[in-house]
Amino acid sequence: MLKKVLTMFLALTMILPLAATGYAAQYKNFEEPYKVAFVCKFLTSVWFAPKSAAMDARARELGMEYIGIDANSNEDTFMQGVQNAINQRVDGIILTPVNTAMLPAIVDLCKEAGVAYMTTDDPGVDSDGNPVPHLGLEDYSLGEASAKKMVVAAKERGFLADPSRVSVVMIGVPAVEGFQRRVIGGYDVVKAAFPEIPEDNYLWLDTVNGLVDNVVARFSSAYQSLAGGTDYWIILGGDEGAGAGTYPILEENGVDFSKVLLSTINGSDMLTTLMKESEAKANSIYFSGILPAPSGVALIDIMYDLFKNGVPIPEFSGYPENVCDASNYEENFLQHLGD
């Protein structure tokens, strides 16, 4: 299963690599068998547990030793975990801190010990204010990727026969920059693909925090004002709430889902549950799937590449791209959700 996950998802987006000179020189000499630790704020969570398991399995495949250390959401325990890893003479430490304000002190510890370091999921800076090397969400690209596939479907299905009858609704959370960048990624794709859609047909909704109840409340009101002038719906979101909060409203009002398209990001079974309800719903949904296991594999590969080949850890690595639709969501996303 892990090999299949690796084959399917290991196309990483490597952005802004650090210069090869100087960066690796701060480390001790790496000797096989390599040893890497993951010090995590909450290792037993539904996201980090499978991620850690994937790290362990990939490390064993590469002949490395893996140590998972759980801080149980306690800052003191986290710092102790970092020191514990250093005492065990690890070559590298992967960090998801309880609080990113801890990172400057943690990075100083790692530098002093000559240990390689990077973060995942929760980024931050070192004591000089420089970004700590990180693997996580590249929010804009996630929204952009699923929207690119969705606009192809819109063209094929005749959504633009009368551009004035197309409503584009953005399920936004302006207070959360990362979330909003996902929506903007999709918005920019649609704007570029369909310049003929009138500007007035684009509606931004502020759903406060993106929770489903808030999406329902905002979209219910929007639907009433838009329905009379809308034949086709394009919905852009930043997470699965964009579907879970809008599709019940559309269904209650008898909307034909062959005239609906959704592009968003998904990390649970919320959207796939909708897709299983009918063929029309399945064909209407496009999402960038975020899975814990492939990112765990990617983290070990990044460390191994440093240890074995001297390749510097990139300043930023995006999650492996995984755009899903009706044709592939079971194989590419759903069957790996519990990995």
- pLDDT tens string 160-195: 999 999 999 999 999 878 889 999 999 999 999 999
The alpha carbon dihedral of 171, 175, 179, 182 has a sign of positive
Looking at residue 234, its amino acid is: I
pLDDT above 90 as % of the chain: 79
Task: Give the pLDDT confidence score for residue 335 in this predicted structure.
Answer: 87
Can you tell me the mean pLDDT for 1-6? Answer: 46
Mark which of 270, 289, 308 sits at the end of a domain. Answer: 289
Write out pLDDT tens, residues 27-36. 778 999 999 9
The residue to which tokens 């809308």 are assigned: 230
φ, ψ dihedrals at 203, nearest 5°: -125, 120
For residues 284 and 298, state if they share a domain: no
Tokens of 46: 């539904």
Residues 46 and 61 in one domain: yes
What pLDDT does residue 81 have?
98
Is 24 or 329 the better-scoring residue by pLDDT?
Answer: 329
Q: How many domains is the chain built from?
A: 2
Has residue 327 been placed in a domain? no
Q: How far apart are CA 213 and CA 206, in angstroms?
A: 13
Whether residue 132 is found in the same domain as residue 154: no
Query: Are 155 and 126 part of one and the same domain?
Result: no
Q: Verify that 185 and 280 share a domain, yes or no.
A: yes
Domain residues for the domain of 25 are 2-136+292-320
The order of strands in the sheet holding 316-318 is 13-15, 316-318, 134-136, 116-120, 92-96, 35-40, 65-70
Kindly state whether residues 125 and 50 are assigned to the same domain.
Answer: yes
Cross-strand bridge partners of residue 202: 168
Choose among 70, 51, 114: nearest CA to 307: 114
Same domain for 165 and 124 = no
Give Cα 292 distance to the centre of its chain.
9
Helix, strand, coil percent values for the chain (each to nearest 5): 50, 20, 30
For the ranges 4-13, 110-119, 164-173, 280-289, the lowest mean pLDDT is seen at 4-13
**DSSP SS3 for 35:** strand
Residue 73 domain flag = yes
Question: Which residue has tokens 């993951």?
Answer: 38
Among 271, 289, 307, residue at a domain's last position = 289
Q: Residues 100, 103, 108, CA angle at the centre, nearest 5°? A: 175
- One domain, residues 113 and 148: no
> From the CA atom positions of the chain, what is the Rg in Å?
22
Tell me the C-alpha distance between 169 and 237, whole Å. Answer: 9
Q: Is residue 333 part of a domain?
A: no
Q: Are residues 169 and 281 in the same domain?
A: yes
C-alpha 132/C-alpha 109 separation (Å) is 13
SS3 280: helix
Tell me if 129 is assigned to some domain.
Answer: yes
**134 phi and psi angles, rounded to 5 deg:** -145, 140
* 174 and 65 inside one domain: no
Residue 334, in any domain of the structure: no
Q: What pLDDT does 338 receive?
A: 65
When mean pLDDT is compared across 9-18, 76-85, 168-177, the lowest value belongs to 9-18
H, E, C per residue of 201-247:
HEEEEECCCCCHHHHHHHHHHHHHHHHHHCCEEEEECCCCHHHHCCH
Residue that the structure tokens 């931050």 belong to: 124
Same-domain pairing of 53 and 177: no
Does residue 331 lie in a domain region? Answer: no
Token pair listed for 21: 């000179």
For position 283, what pLDDT does the model report? 98
Could you say which DSSP state residue 41 is in? S
CATH number, position 11:
3.40.50.2300
Residue 284 counted as domain residue: yes
pTM for this predicted structure: 0.73
Decide if pLDDT at 22 tops 90.
no
- On whether residue 79 sits in a domain, the answer given is yes
- Contact status, residue 307 vs residue 62, Cβ threshold 8 Å: no
Residues 105 and 238 in one domain: no
Please compute the mean of the pLDDT values over residues 83-107 and round it to a whole number. 96
What is the DSSP annotation of 162-186?
A: SGGGEEEEEEE-TT-HHHHHHHHHH
